[in-house]
Amino acid sequence: MEIFRYGQTEIEHLTRRDRKLGAAIEMFGAIKREIRPDPFAGLVTSVVAQQISNKAASAIRRRLQTLLEAITPDRIAGADISEMRQCGLSARKVEYIKGIADAAVNGEINFSRFNEMTDEEIIDQLSSLRGIGVWTVEMLLLFSLSRPDVVSWGDHAIRHGMMNLYGLKKLTKEQFQRYRRRYSPYGSVASLYLWALSAMEEPAHLTAINRRIP
């Protein structure tokens, strides 16, 4: 299993720039999140995960992998729609995934060039496909391309993690952008901890952090 790599440079930067986040990093320790280096398979995985739980997305992804043997443009382009539906995909998601495969097969999207492109260029190119929004591409940037500075406004859990960390009842986009700039250029590592913070059901440790660190 390949994981998103980070180390002391990123931790020291985030701790120096944001003491509350630094305290949360110390509390959680190292976080290991799997990445899928193949950007085509990563994008398909992101579409599968749209608006469903991580558990449900993992189950569908396993069934799709079993059906196709390999998540490639040719395999998806040639796959039977009804069999893809039986994996747990909605008709709309099957349409979106087929569209991604068609774009790769006909050369509209060259996934092998992504390493030469900026985050913004990749977002612009992939957002032209049906069913592919900014959040979906941002998850690709982080979990396939290991881009270092991804903090997604479109991710509910990221926003919830910020609210937990800073003791906020609501979060405006202006506040979000201020925190995002504070984390840069290592926002992706901050995102790993914000996801962990969002999952805390009884954030007593967060209350202590907010009381100790103004």
Q: If you ran DSSP here, which 8-state letter would residue 76 be given?
A: H
> Can the peptide bond before residue 148 be classed as cis, meaning omega within 30 degrees of 0?
no
Residue 82 and residue 58: Cα distance in Å, rounded?
20
Q: Which of 119, 124, 149, 155 is catalytic?
A: 155
Write the Ramachandran bin of 131: left for phi over 0, alpha for psi from -120 to 50, otherwise beta. left
CA distance readout (Å), 28 to 21, 116, 135, 200:
11, 34, 25, 11
Residue 18 and residue 26: Cα distance in Å, rounded?
12
Q: Are residues 89 and 64 in contact, defined by beta-carbon separation less than 8 angstroms?
A: yes
**Among 155, 25, 46, 21, CA closest to 100:** 46
155 flagged as catalytic: yes
Active site residues: 155
